[in-house]
Chains A and B, each alone.
Chain A
Amino acid sequence: MEVTANTHAYPALRSSEQSYLQRAWLRFRKNRLAVISAGVLVFMGLTAGLAPFIAPYDPNAIDLSPTGLLQPPSAAHLFGTDDLGRDGFSRALHGARISLAVGFIATAMAMAIGTLVGAVAGMLGGWVDNLLMRSVDILLSVPLFLLIMISQTLVTPSIFTVMIIIGLTSWMDVARLVRGDFLNLLSSDYVTAAVVVGTRRSGIAWRHILPNAINTIVVAATLRVAQAILIESALSFLGLGVQPPNASWGSMLQKGLVRLLDAPWMVWFPGILISITVLAFNFVGDGLRDALDPKQVV
């Protein structure tokens, strides 16, 4: 009923062939902030990917001459230079690679673990569900950031350990969300139908429930990337993440903290970049949440 009413309201969309994704895209497109944010992220991703070609200077090239050290932003050095005379803009470009890589890979790990735990808990129910969900409760009561910091002293801190540790410590709320979706969908008629015709449990989980839980997963993943970038920058800021001479936005801020007096630009730009990136992921995640909701009509 609703759909017919709406195709009349939007004659251009009358085609009945429209797929779910097409309709989702139409809804997403209407959210201006989300579209702009997606554009920003694509741009960010491209510049990060092409950093070695775009960067005007070698990000680790040191220039200790009086004309190279602690230069304020200028045409030659868009973001100024740091206390070793390294070009802030080039370092920020290379830092983007690290932030985005950590964000995506840590999130991929968290999503994989969280989806698996949530799906198993939701599917099997009973004591397995109880055990898994109580473990999630307990892990969420742990001072996680402290644990991440301690874990970083376990290993030689590097970008890879940062990814793994963030991934291992941020899957819990994903597990909760996915379990919730599984429980909901398990009681739906089409799943009952699948059970009646004798589909195996793994088949039901993979082919019938997971595709319908994908919305939740995609939205959670987008917001998780934002969180992972924030955690990475905090760790690098504390010196427990990316190690010198490599640049990450967080480690650039760490160097800037002691130079607030004479070179405040060292903290301006990396902070703005972190904020914009995280903000963009949050806006896109929010836009996706609305767009992917199948109950919404165009």
Chain B
Amino acid sequence: MQRLIIQRLLLAVPTLFVVSILSFTIIKLAPGDPVRMYVSTGLSQGNQEDIERIRRNLGLDRPLHVQYLAWLKNTMQGNLGYSLSSRRPVGQILLEKLPASISLMGISFLVSLTIGVLVGVISAVKQYSLFDYSVTVFAFIGNSIPSFWIAMMLIWFFAVELGWLPTGQMQSYQPTASPLLDYARHFVLPVATTSFINLVGWVRYQRASMLEVLQQDYIRTARAKGLKERSILLGHAWRNSLIPILTLIGFSVSNLVGGSYIIETIFSWPGMGQLGFDAILKRDFPVIMGVTLLSAAFIILGNLLADVTYILVNPKMRTSGSEL
């Protein structure tokens, strides 16, 4: 078992390398001269000589692989470079943006998982009922609506029409209520949107897995020996149906990260997603690299977590590890 986990860990490292090489190459191929961008925000008008000198100073005149290796060496030492637009260390900017993103993703994850598991279980227990049928249709619909449209409709209805909630940002400029309440009000719509798009997956998986467990022999045995239905469903069936759900938790990271760029942009959420999108528009290469790498690290870590939980919760994997 330990060997398997170590094997997975070792696979994560080359993945991160490939991601960094891929994004580095794409970014460097992109048109738009970062030096001119740098100059136009800094000096008033640089002449050609100055531009070439700055290019040399930034190391942007060297061949691509040399630039990559230099970037890699710095990154390994914890130096992610400086933002071309704000001149601040990329690592510091990322650290500032991280809490907003993680809190939004974390809360949405908990909300969607809780509701999804609950709805999935009820739907499975009452299979073919009206509730179950509506849940299935809802799952299809939820899978088809673009997240940013849900966000806009929520903003339109709850913020514009009813005026109950703010349209964006994480806090008011001049909070009228207590800071905590102010935060809470700002969290409602982004959390609702993110939870909604992740909810569908949990409902479907929980329903399918519960249905499968309910067909097992040991459930029939439990019924045959006259256990209460309640304890059969909760104690025997539900607990076992959670095994596949546990392993899926890790994979959900990739969805959360992928959705954050667009949702944070709509809600002006001061997190990594918005940072990444802004950096792309500004061609701020060091920041783009930082965001890409951090996002990839999150996703890879999530996948790793999924693999490890799969190994841990599956008793077969504990003894004979070579099958995976």
Chain A interface residues (CB < 8 Å from chain B): 134, 137-138, 141-147, 149-151, 153-154, 226, 230, 233-234, 237-238, 253, 256-257, 260-261, 264, 267, 271, 274-276, 278-279, 282-283, 286
Whether A150 contacts B288 in the complex (CB less than 8 A), given A257-B266, A260-B160, comes out as: yes
Q: Could you list 20 examples of A-B contacts with CB < 8 Å?
A: A137-B15, A138-B15, A141-B254, A143-B296, A145-B262, A146-B295, A147-B292, A149-B261, A149-B277, A154-B26, A154-B30, A234-B147, A234-B262, A237-B262, A238-B262, A257-B152, A260-B160, A264-B161, A267-B152, A278-B143
Give Cα distance in the complex from A263 to B85, angstroms.
Answer: 35
Q: Are B149 and A271 in contact (CB under 8 A)?
A: yes
Q: Are A267 and B22 in contact (CB under 8 A)?
A: no
Q: Which of A141, A142, A154 contacts B29 (CB 8 A)?
A: A154
Q: Does B291 contact A (CB under 8 A)?
A: yes
Q: In the complex, what residues of B have CB within 8 A of residue A274's CB?
A: 145-146, 149
Q: Are A145 and B261 in contact (CB under 8 A)?
A: yes
Q: Which of B23, B160, B254, B283 contacts A264 (CB 8 A)?
A: B160
Whether A253 contacts B295 in the complex (CB less than 8 A), given A144-B258, A264-B160, comes out as: no
Chain B nearest Cβ from A235, distance in angstroms: 10
- Please classify how large the interface on chain B is, using the bins under 10, 10 to 19, 20 to 34, 35 or more: 35 or more
Chain A nearest Cβ from B48, distance in angstroms: 25
Q: Are B140 and A138 in contact (CB under 8 A)?
A: no
Contact with A along B1-25 (1 / 0, CB 8 A): 0000000000100110011001100
Whether A264 contacts B156 in the complex (CB less than 8 A), given A144-B258, A253-B148, comes out as: yes
Q: Does B235 contact A (CB under 8 A)?
A: no
Q: Are A275 and B280 in contact (CB under 8 A)?
A: no
Chain B interface residues (CB < 8 Å from chain A): 11, 14-15, 18-19, 22-23, 26-27, 29-32, 140-141, 143-149, 152-153, 155-156, 160-161, 167, 254, 257-258, 261-262, 265-266, 276-277, 280-281, 283, 288, 291-292, 295-296, 299-300, 303
Q: Are A141 and B299 in contact (CB under 8 A)?
A: yes
Question: Which residue in chain A gives the minimum CB-CB distance to B302?
Answer: A141
Q: Are B149 and A143 in contact (CB under 8 A)?
A: no
Chain B nearest Cβ from A257, distance in angstroms: 6
Q: In the complex, what residues of A have CB within 8 A of residue B19's CB?
A: 138, 141-143
Known: A150-B288, A237-B146, A275-B149. 19 other contacts (CB 8 A): A134-B11, A138-B15, A138-B18, A142-B18, A142-B19, A142-B22, A143-B254, A143-B295, A146-B23, A147-B292, A150-B26, A154-B30, A238-B277, A253-B152, A256-B152, A257-B266, A264-B160, A271-B153, A282-B140
Q: Which of B32, B148, B266 contacts A153 (CB 8 A)?
A: B32
Q: In the complex, what residues of A have CB within 8 A of residue B303's CB?
A: 141
Q: Are A150 and B160 in contact (CB under 8 A)?
A: no
Chain B nearest Cβ from A40, distance in angstroms: 12
Question: Which residue in chain A gives the minimum CB-CB distance to B283?
Answer: A153
Q: In the complex, what residues of B have CB within 8 A of residue A282's CB?
A: 140, 143-144
Q: Are B146 and A230 in contact (CB under 8 A)?
A: yes
Q: Are B146 and A275 in contact (CB under 8 A)?
A: yes
Q: In the complex, what residues of A have CB within 8 A of residue B148's CB?
A: 234, 237, 253
Q: Are B23 and A275 in contact (CB under 8 A)?
A: no
Q: Are B144 and A147 in contact (CB under 8 A)?
A: no
Give Cα distance in the complex from A267 to B161, angstroms.
Answer: 14
Whether A150 contacts B280 in the complex (CB less than 8 A), given A143-B299, A237-B262, comes out as: yes
Give Cα distance in the complex from A6 to B168, angstroms.
Answer: 59
Whether A143 contacts B258 in the complex (CB less than 8 A), given A150-B288, A153-B32, A153-B283, comes out as: yes
